[in-house]
Structures are given as C-alpha cells and as structure tokens.
Amino acid sequence: MIKLSKRLQTIADYITPSNRVADIGSDHALLPVYLLQSGKCPSAIAGELNLGPMLAAKKQAADAGLSDRLEVRQGDGLAVLAPDEADTVTIAGMGGSLMSDILEAGYTSGKLEGVKELVLQPNVGEDAVRIWLLNRGWLLKDETILEEDGKIYEVIHAVLSDDAEKQNEVIYDGSFLQLDLEKPTLTALLIRMGPYLLRRPHEALVKKWRSELQKLEWICKQLSGSELPESAVKRDQFQAEMKLIEGVLNCLQTDKR
C-alpha cells in the first residue's frame, strides 16, 4: 500500500470513511490511491489541469489496479466534477487565493452540489480560504498545523451544517486570547492565524509566525529608507500588524507555561 507523506496523511485522516472523494489538483493521485487501497473510500475522482500530471495519475491508478474505482480527469479545478458525484472534495498544495477562486467557481456552477465535506491544504493565504468558508456558510470543523521537510503546512477541515453560522460565531470568538482589542480585530486575527490553531498552540504555529514577524521587520527596514509618504504609511501599517501578532504569540506562550 502507498505510504503518504505526513501532509497527505493528515488530509486523509480528516476524510469521513465511506465518502466518495474528488481530489482536485491530484498530482500523481497518491491520496486517492491510498484512500482506495486502505478501504477508507469506495471510489474517487482525481482531477488535473495539465496533461503530464494527469497521465502520471492515470499510470498510478493503473499500476495499483484501481482504474475501475479511480477515475482520472483533465480539467480546470472543479470543472472535472459533476453535481452529486462526490461527498468529499480535497484540494492541496496551492495558494489560498487560487483555492478560494476554484471553490467559488465550483459553487456558482453547481459543482459542489452534494459535497458535504472539504479538506483543504493551502500553501499560503489560509485566511482567504477561511473567509470563503465563512461567506459560503461552511462550518470550520477543525485545523491542523504541521512541519515536514522544513516547510509548515495548515490543513483545514470544513463540513456543511444547518447551524454553521451560529457555531462559527463561537469558533471565531477571540475572547479566549484575553487581549484588549475590539471584537472585529480579534475575529480578523483568528481568521488569519486559525481559531483552532490558536486554541491548541503548537510549536510549528509559533515558528511560522515568528518567521512572519522577521519578514515584516525586514520590510519595515526597507521602507524606512524611503522618503515617500506612502512608504511611511505602509511602514506604520506593518508595524501595527507586527504588534498584533506579537500580542497573540505572547498570549500563547503564557498559556503554555
């Protein structure tokens, strides 16, 4: 049986057993092959935009003897999917903004009809994904942050729920941070940094945001060398952002002690 990377295994672990899965941007179809080999899912669709990866996915399915249960299709995002063909959609390994565009295009074209679960792993821009989920009424069920081969990944699990709006209000209530900030500011921080991740601080989370602070500090130094008025405005914005992130990290470290 295929052995998955830590990142892909985390995605696989979130998928509800017996669900039909559509893996968008499947790249060699490692995840759907594992799901079928392990008996977790009865059938799967692997979608790929480009010919090379699509052919590689077809070969992977054939080599595993799974071509009858794993259908490999070429197409853009959720365009490979028909309504009510999948219970779970997984998308991994791309930016959060592109991922949100794919989800929105799928939503408006009806491709997400019948889908009850999303497992998403954006490489960057996780906040864009959380915003899309909120706007489209999906319940943020859980999140995981992990480090593998020197890279940090976040995996987001969302489901359809009749009371998603009510539950999301509780999930995105940042009062647990005990910071003297307005509610909208706290909510924005949770959207950016992850409400579950902040409630269960992990060393990978602290490492990620310490690195982000270093990047922002470098940008501020570059802006300080400019005499343009807009550079000063941007520097002030970045410094305010740094202050917010530092405040959150200090809260987390206090909690861990």
Per residue in 15-70, pLDDT (tens digit) is: 999 999 999 999 889 999 999 999 999 999 999 999 999 999 999 999 999 999 99
| Same-domain status, 51 and 95 | yes
Other C-beta atoms lying within 10 Å of the C-beta of residue 245: 17
* Spatial distance between the Cα atoms of 122 and 128, rounded to a whole number of angstroms: 9
Whether 66 maps to a domain, the answer reads: yes
* Spatial distance between the Cα atoms of 123 and 118, rounded to a whole number of angstroms: 16
* Spatial distance between the Cα atoms of 54 and 48, rounded to a whole number of angstroms: 5
Mean of the per-residue pLDDT values for the chain?
Answer: 94
Q: Which CATH number does the domain housing residue 94 bear?
A: 3.40.50.150
| Same-domain status, 212 and 154 | no
pLDDT band for position 176 (cuts 50, 70, 90): very high
Query: Do the Cβ atoms of 115 and 88 come closer than 8 Å?
Result: yes
- Residue identified by tokens 């706290």 is 186
Whether 180 maps to a domain, the answer reads: yes
| Same-domain status, 141 and 27 | yes
Other C-beta atoms lying within 10 Å of the C-beta of residue 184: 9
Total structural domains within the chain: 2
* Spatial distance between the Cα atoms of 170 and 140, rounded to a whole number of angstroms: 11
The sheet carrying 44-48 orders its strands as: 70-74, 44-48, 21-24, 88-94, 117-122, 151-160, 138-148
Query: Which of 161, 185, 203 marks a domain boundary?
Result: 161
pLDDT band for position 256 (cuts 50, 70, 90): very low
Query: Which of 132, 161, 190 marks a domain boundary?
Result: 161
* Spatial distance between the Cα atoms of 34 and 40, rounded to a whole number of angstroms: 9
Q: Which CATH number does the domain housing residue 184 bear?
A: 1.10.287
User: 240 is in which domain, residue-wise?
Assistant: 175-256
Whether 168 maps to a domain, the answer reads: no
Answer yes or no: pTM beyond 0.75.
yes
Look at residue 213 and tell me whether its pLDDT is greater than 90. Answer: yes
